[in-house]
Amino acid sequence: MRPAIDIRSLRVDYGDFVAVDDLTLTVPPGEVFGLVGPNGAGKTSTFRVITTLMEPTYGEVILDGVDVFEDLETARRIIGYMPDLAPVPSDLKVQEFLEFHAAAYGLGNRAQRRDRVAECLEEVALTDQRDKWCKQLSRGQTQRVVLAKTLLHRPRVLVLDEPASGLDPLARRDLRSALRRLAATGATVFISSHILSELAEMCTSLCVMNRGKLLASGTAEEVRHQLGTNERILTANLLCKPGEAREWLASHASVHDLQVEGHQIVFGFKGDDDAQADLMEGLIRLGVRLRSFEEKRSSFEDILVEVAENNRRS
């Protein structure tokens, strides 16, 4: 199966500044794929090239088998682009706004356009808002109307720039459900967001960019591993006095910042899942009675904060 998005050796320069530096990335169809990174990582420039809004310094972008720069019109029919904070007219109703864009796309006769508008409104769960004035919509409803507009011509690749920006938790949940339904139909969703916890939940896979370069890609767990962040905080809750367990743990090079509070031992641990399992097994063999063993791993947001802080230090 050919990739939905195939980016090869992409570079974008603004004078002497390199915004995107030799980016190579492949996204299969049916994915909700996240693009994350700190400000200045190259996300916006990448999106602008993919959506044909600018030409790169060099490189290739192929969407569903179509070279974006060799067949621009066909590529644009494949793409559905939803920019951050896309405006909607205040003097049109939702139905009118979508029918206007359906006509601009040349989607059949009036009856066919109305049917397609109804399908897209149902897809984003806004059928009951079709006769509402756009100016009366909430932020979340506005975002979903713009998503419905983006879906009108049945794009095979959707590029969404910060679609969850400013949405409340309920609106983000509705948007997440809509994107998952789209991916289930075979569409590919390429999405950027600064709401990192939401991206980790929303996306089937993602990549991290920094200073124009691709740092890691894959599932959230694979990205965490590729970035070398095996650090975690472990808490051992004991049914016995912690003295012997504390001394045994402190002797391990992978254990640091060990603290004891009553029958609870909290410590940092640097190691993989097998090493953690060995640690638990060692405590049990020592005769330590464990009531529970809890783990807190670095969140995806922690990873991005670390990347941004490394930017400042360098």
* Residue 107 placed within a domain: yes
* Residue 69 placed within a domain: yes
- Tell me, yes or no, whether 200 and 235 share the same domain: no
- Tell me, yes or no, whether 244 and 160 share the same domain: no
Percent over 70 (pLDDT), the chain: 91
- 284-302 in b/e form (b: 16+ CB < 10 A) is eeeebeeeeeeeeebebee
* Residue 195 placed within a domain: yes
**pLDDT (0 to 100) of residue 300:** 63
Domain boundary among 218, 243, 265: 218
- Tell me, yes or no, whether 29 and 71 share the same domain: yes
**pLDDT (0 to 100) of residue 270:** 85
Q: What is d(CA 198, CA 196) in angstroms, rounded to the nearest whole number?
A: 5
Instruction: State the alpha helices, DSSP H only, in 33-131.
Output: 43-50, 72-78, 94-104, 110-123
Q: What is d(CA 296, CA 133) in angstroms, rounded to the nearest whole number?
A: 46
E-strand ranges in the chain read: 5-14, 17-27, 32-36, 58-63, 66-67, 79-82, 157-161, 188-192, 205-210, 213-218, 231-238, 255-261, 264-270, 290-297
Query: What CATH number is given to the structural domain containing 13?
Result: 3.40.50.300
- Tell me, yes or no, whether 207 and 250 share the same domain: no
What average pLDDT does the segment 258-281 reach? Answer: 90
| Residue (of 149, 123, 135, 127) closest to 93 by Cα position | 135
Number of helices (H), then strands (E), belonging to the chain: the values are 11, 14
pLDDT of residue 312 exceeding 70: no
For 198, residues 6+ apart whose C-beta sits below 8 A from its C-beta are 164, 172, 176
- Tell me, yes or no, whether 200 and 286 share the same domain: no
- Tell me, yes or no, whether 208 and 251 share the same domain: no
- Tell me, yes or no, whether 276 and 177 share the same domain: no
pTM, whole model, 2 decimals?
0.76
Question: What is the residue range of 288's domain?
Answer: 231-297
pLDDT of residue 131 exceeding 60: yes
- Tell me, yes or no, whether 22 and 155 share the same domain: yes
pLDDT of residue 298 exceeding 70: no
**Band of residue 163 on the pLDDT scale cut at 50, 70, 90:** confident
Q: What is d(CA 153, CA 264) in angstroms, rounded to the nearest whole number?
A: 58
3-state helix, strand and coil shares in percent for the chain, rounded to the nearest 5: 40, 30, 30
pLDDT tens readout for residues 4-15 = 999 999 999 999
**pLDDT (0 to 100) of residue 301:** 64
* Residue 34 placed within a domain: yes
pLDDT of residue 306 exceeding 90: no
**Band of residue 314 on the pLDDT scale cut at 50, 70, 90:** low
- Tell me, yes or no, whether 213 and 279 share the same domain: no
**pLDDT (0 to 100) of residue 310:** 65
Strand 255-261 to 264-270 pairing: antiparallel
* Residue 307 placed within a domain: no
Mean pLDDT of the chain: 88
- Tell me, yes or no, whether 199 and 81 share the same domain: yes
**pLDDT (0 to 100) of residue 23:** 96
pLDDT of residue 166 exceeding 80: no
- Tell me, yes or no, whether 49 and 146 share the same domain: yes
Q: Which residue has the tokens 């063993």?
A: 293
- Tell me, yes or no, whether 100 and 210 share the same domain: yes
* Residue 169 placed within a domain: yes
Q: How many domains does the chain have?
A: 2
* Residue 67 placed within a domain: yes
**Band of residue 27 on the pLDDT scale cut at 50, 70, 90:** very high
Structure tokens at 233: 């905080």
Sheet holding 255-261, edge to edge: 255-261, 264-270, 231-238, 290-297
Distance of CA 40 to the CA centre of its chain: 17
Of 89-98, 211-220, 229-238, where does mean pLDDT reach its minimum?
229-238
**Band of residue 164 on the pLDDT scale cut at 50, 70, 90:** confident
**pLDDT (0 to 100) of residue 235:** 94
pLDDT of residue 111 exceeding 90: yes
Of 2-6, 86-90, 258-262, where does mean pLDDT reach its minimum?
86-90
Query: What CATH number is given to the structural domain containing 236?
Result: 3.30.70.100
* Residue 303 placed within a domain: no
Q: Bridge-partner residues for 205, per DSSP?
A: 33
Other CB atoms within 10 Å distance of the CB of residue 199: 24
**pLDDT (0 to 100) of residue 304:** 67
